[in-house]
Amino acid sequence: MPGEPVVVLHTALMEEIGDNVQQILRQNRTSEVEDPDKIRAAVFYSVSSTQKGLRGIDLGMYLIKRAVADMRREFPEIVDFSTLSPIPTFAAWLLTKVRSAETIESLMTEPEVLEWNQLVADQADEQDQDALKYLQMTLPSNWYEDDETRQSLQGFITRMALTYLTQEKRRGFAYDSVENFHLGNGAEIYRLNWLADTSGKGLSQSFGMMVNFRYPPDAELIKNSNNYIFNKCIKVSQQIQQMLATFGLLPAPTSS
């Protein structure tokens, strides 16, 4: 119908780039009006189509670019444009890795193994003291409801999410479809967010992990997009570069 929106880009205007979707949704349900003097970031957290016939047609790229241009004019004080995006196939990928592993050491770093073994010793029944089997049983469960288990798994799951986003490839491009979309637009991997979506869907698809893809100014955006499309180079923030170095991960491959 004329005047009816075809696709909706849900955007939060914030003081800084958001890292938790439940927090954003809670803020949006209040009647509080944003203070324009405090707005420094626009965070795109959902895209939805209003027309059944358009489902499956990718309009997000054009909508995000249009939204960025419009908001730069309306809110010139905004310095950061970013998504808060799901990692929809991460949990399935990690569960496959865990179930096919032969030893816990093949999955975890030495510090992660030490922390996980301590948790197993404290929590597991005597017959369930095998660290790998306990991990295989724990991940599909409600592990996030237990403080000690959350703490023990945070480093491992975060490192594996970083591995998935920067190392796992399909024909040389990012394996994750959401990531591939934003990198192709010229965005960078800005930040990984632990337990950023604790809804049932968020936990089952990505163990609660979400990622910010930051959209830089136009000149850098075009450069990033071309470098990804033609050279298969993934642009990451300094924070992500430091994480890659800390975990001993190589830069993302640049050829298929």
Kindly list the catalytic residues. Answer: 85, 182
Retrieve residue 68's tokens.
């960025």
Q: Are 97 and 107 in contact (CB under 8 A)?
A: yes
Dihedrals phi, psi of 152, to nearest 5 degrees? -70, -30
Amino acid at 63: L
| SS3 labels along the chain | CCCCCCEEEEEEEECCCCCCHHHHHHHHHCCCCCCCCCCCEEEEEEEEECCHHHCCCCCHHHHHHHHHHHHHHHCCCCCEEEECEECCCHHHHHHHHHHHCCCHHHCCCHHHHHHHHHHHHHHCCHHHCCHHHHHHHHCCCCHHHCHHHHHHHHHHHHHHHHHHHHHCEECCEECCHHHHHHHHHCCEEEEEECCCCCCHHHHHHHCCCEEEEEECCHHHHHHHHHHHHHHCCCCECHHHHHHHHHCCCCCCCCCC
Retrieve residue 250's tokens.
């190589």
Smallest Cα–Cα separation from 228: which of 194, 160, 165, 181? 181
Smallest Cα–Cα separation from 168: which of 241, 82, 249? 249
